[in-house]
Amino acid sequence: MSRSLRVIFAGTPAFAAVSLAALLDSRHQVVAVYTQPDRPAGRGRKLTPSPVKALALNHDLPVRQPASLKTAEVQAELAAFDSDIMVVAAYGLLLPQAVLEIPPLGCVNVHASLLPRWRGAAPIQRAIEAGDRESGITIMQMDAGLDTGAMLLEQRIPITATTTGGDLHDRLAILGGEALVTALNALAQASLPATPQPLEGITYAAKLSKAEAALDFTLPAARLAAKIRAFNPWPVAWTRLDGEPLRLWLAEAGVANDDSATAPGTLLPTSGQALRIACGARGDEVLNVTRAQLPGGKPLAARDLLNSRRERFTAGKRLGAPEDDRA
């Protein structure tokens, strides 16, 4: 059996908490947890600990929340934990070179993509939005670049035509925890070689914004459907209906529109199961929306919306003015 490693864990959101939980169930010893400072949340804007901090406190682990890792004082405190390795998962702070060099086995990252594809902030959503057929986890030896370090371990999973951002997030979080423990077990035996990332196929996953969630119905139906799934549950794709926001949660590309002159964004006669929207540059494609949300309501299956509010979705009505909302 390999030896137990002393681990500093650095992470913040729920995705990272799953990796921390996997570490706590492993043979390795978490000696300290670093996470982002508490943030205001909820209607009362009460300071709220991150999911990683909450889990760490439940296990009586030392928690540190520095605003930066660049000061000598913070780095000295980190070194005093005398760890073998530092694990980073969606931490939210850059690690300076001085920190990367503190643990004898360096710092490893749990990254939610198949590197070098989708380096950066939002790899899960960008993979779905781009129409990728698979995603995965890369355990990476960190260096000074943005997700440029050598790869230690890779695990793949498929992306299907119904996969949402939330679905993929949850699956990759579990896979990340499993891959992390496998990698640490191998590193403890000095049996995990590092492979440099390929120079081909590099892409970057820009951070998501609410502004880009406004839909442009001149785009092809398949691209719109992928974007709607990618942005579920946040920031949620949307358009306007009668001047009010209409949030779209699930959709798929439909059969081509027979009314070739229909303007993009026009509601078409419904099937009763989906909102049918003309799209594409010539308005000759169809987007079938199967789950949507009116202001003040909950997300509903399209058939339930049509049964209760059919008068809101009259054929011929035009959705959108997204150009104005994105400005």
What are the pLDDT digits (tens) for 64-122? 999 999 999 999 999 999 999 999 999 999 999 999 999 999 999 999 999 999 999 99
* pLDDT score at 322: 46
* 4 annotated to bind ligand: no
Positions of the chain with pLDDT lower than 50, given as ranges: 322, 324-327
Report the relative pairing of strands 204-205 and 237-241 from DSSP bridges: unpaired
Does residue 142 fall inside a structural domain?
A: yes
Residues 187 and 47 in one domain: yes
Distance CA 123, CA 211 (A): 18
Residues 81 and 134 in one domain: yes
Counting DSSP H helices and E strands in the chain, the numbers are 9, 16
Do the annotations mark residue 78 as ligand-binding? no
- Give the pLDDT confidence of 180-212 residue by residue, as tens digits: 999 999 999 988 999 999 999 999 999 999 899
Shared domain check, 182 and 48 = yes
Residue 325 falls inside a structural domain: no
319 is in an annotated binding site: no
Q: Decide: helix, strand or coil at residue 300.
A: strand
Of the three residues 156, 179, 205, the one that is the final residue of a domain is 205
pTM given for the model: 0.93
Task: Determine whether the annotation assigns residue 116 to a binding site.
Answer: yes
43 and 190 in a single domain? The answer is yes
214 and 201 in a common domain: no
**Domain with 289 in it: what CATH number?**
3.10.25.10
Considering the chain, what percentage of its residues have pLDDT values greater than 90? 88
Yes or no: say if 167 and 146 are a contact pair by the CB < 8 Å rule.
no
Is residue 103 within 8 A of residue 8, CB to CB? The reply is yes
CATH code assigned at 185: 3.40.50.170
Residue 5 is given by DSSP the state P
The parent domain of residue 269 ranges over: 210-318
